[in-house]
Structure formats: structure tokens, C-alpha cells
């Protein structure tokens, strides 16, 4: 099967400094996806990235809730919300893409998480599905029918981006070696892959392309 053609796109999810070892919300091994993604990009004509881009007063930050700590839960936008350390604040170094990540052929960047009142894991919608980034319409307007998803982190933004891509009607493939999990619980990454497979998302490795 020819996996990649003019109707396929690579979605690079949130490969930003704060999610890399040494960052505010570091994903173990997050830096290891960068060379894999750089090689993958050479195969695609359509490469699109998402960027977590929070205001400093974002409601998902534990520091904005006196007495609360990262990992605790609150209600935000009518949803149960886990509280995070401050990360990916607009115009901060932490929000910048990893410096070794090749951006030279990116067609577009879709920012998410800009509304302080709701978190936003997916590159398509906020978690309450009240805000649309425009990514789905962009892909459809460019004739995309199949999307490959990679980046950070597997059990949050990558998973929800892939599930929304599938729900939008795109054939969706996760590139398993080009992502890493937060793993608040040790099995979270594995559970995310099971959930995606159950939703009809294919899982491949980069060398299968």
C-alpha cells in the first residue's frame, strides 16, 4: 500500500521546549522524537504543526488556583480538569518549538489553548468543543484525506488530536515511534494506543512508511 501521496498530511503535535526534558512539563524521552520527525517530514508534501499557546492566567495552571498543586483536579468549563505546572506560555521560550525541529517545509501552524477558561489537548477543538482551531477545514480545503499524527504527548494532545482527526472523517495513522507519553500512570501511553486502535486509528512505525 502506498501510504503517502498528495492527499496525505503529517501533523506534528506540540514538539515544544516545555515538553522536552528540562522543560516545565517534560515528557521522558521527548527529545528523541525530533530526529525521527525530521526524517518523516522529508516524505510529505503537507506538513502542519500544532502549538500549545497559553495565556499566563490559564485555568489549567495549578499556580492560578491558590492552595492547589499540579496533579490535583478542579472543574473548568464544566469539565473535570487536571492541574498542570505553568507551561507553554505565549511568547515564552517554553512555548517555542524544539530548536532542532526542522520547520522549513511547514505549511501552517495551528495554535491551541489560548482561551484561559478551557484546556485544549486536541489540535482541532478545545476540550469543551466550543472553540475550533480551523485545522479540520484547512486539511479538507487542501484535499487531505489521510493524516499521520506524531509529537507530544501520546496520552494527551497526540491522542485527542488523532481521535478528532478520525471523527472528522480522515483516515488516521499514529506513528508510534515518533511520540512519547507523559505517563502520569505508568500504563497511560499503552492505554492511549489501545483507545486509538479501538476507534479505528492505525498504528505504524516510521520505518513502515
Other beta carbons within 10 angstroms of residue 13's beta carbon come to 33
Catalytic site positions: 14, 112, 157
Residues in CB range of 88: below 8 A, 6 or more apart: 14, 16, 18, 19, 24, 25, 51, 52, 53, 54, 94, 95, 113
> Is 168 a member of any domain?
yes
Provide CB contacts within 8 A for 5, sequence distance 6+. Answer: none
CA 183, chain centre distance (Å): 15
Residue 63 lies inside a defined structural domain of this protein: no
- The predicted pLDDT at position 1 comes to 66
Residue 74 lies in a domain: no
> pTM of this prediction?
0.97
Q: Is 78 within a domain?
A: no
> Would you give per-residue pLDDT tens digits along the chain (209 residues)?
688 999 999 999 999 999 999 999 999 999 999 999 999 999 999 999 999 999 999 999 999 999 999 999 999 989 999 999 999 999 999 999 999 999 999 999 999 999 999 999 999 999 999 999 999 999 999 999 999 999 999 999 999 999 999 999 999 999 999 999 999 899 999 999 999 999 999 999 999 98
Q: How many domains does the chain have?
A: 1
Full DSSP string of 120-166: --SSSB-TTS--B-SHHHHHHHTT--EEEEEEE-IIIIIHHHHHHHH
**Is 79 domain-assigned?**
no
CATH of the domain at 158: 3.40.50.850
Amino acid at each position: 500500500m502506498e501510504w503517502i501521496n498528495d492527499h496525505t498530511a503529517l501533523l506534528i503535535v506540540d514538539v515544544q521546549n516545555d515538553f522536552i526534558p528540562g522543560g516545565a512539563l517534560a515528557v521522558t524521552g521527548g527529545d528523541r522524537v525530533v530526529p525521527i520527525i525530521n526524517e518523516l517530514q522529508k516524505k510529505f508534501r503537507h506538513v502542519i504543526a500544532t502549538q500549545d499557546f497559553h495565556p499566563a492566567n490559564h485555568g489549567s495552571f495549578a499556580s492560578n488556583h491558590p492552595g492547589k498543586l499540579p496533579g490535583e483536579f478542579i472543574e473548568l468549563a464544566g469539565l473535570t480538569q487536571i492541574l498542570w505546572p505553568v507551561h507553554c506560555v505565549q511568547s515564552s521560550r517554553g512555548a517555542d518549538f524544539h530548536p532542532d525541529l526542522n520547520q522549513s517545509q511547514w505549511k501552517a501552524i495551528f495554535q491551541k489553548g489560548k482561551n484561559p477558561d478551557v484546556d485544549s489537548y486536541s489540535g482541532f477543538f478545545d476540550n469543551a468543543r466550543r472553540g475550533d482551531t480551523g485545522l479540520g477545514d484547512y486539511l479538507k480545503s487542501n484535499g487531505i484525506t489521510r493524516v499521520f499524527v506524531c509529537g507530544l504527548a501520546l496520552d494527551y494532545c497526540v491522542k485527542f488530536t488523532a481521535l478528532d482527526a478520525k471523527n472528522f472523517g480522515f483516515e488516521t495513522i499514529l506513528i508510534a515511534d515518533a511520540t512519547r507519553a507523559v505517563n502520569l500512570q505508568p500504563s497511560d501511553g499503552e492505554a492511549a494506543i489501545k483507545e486509538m486502535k479501538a476507534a479505528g486509528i492505525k498504528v505504524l512505525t516510521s520505518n513502515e512508511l
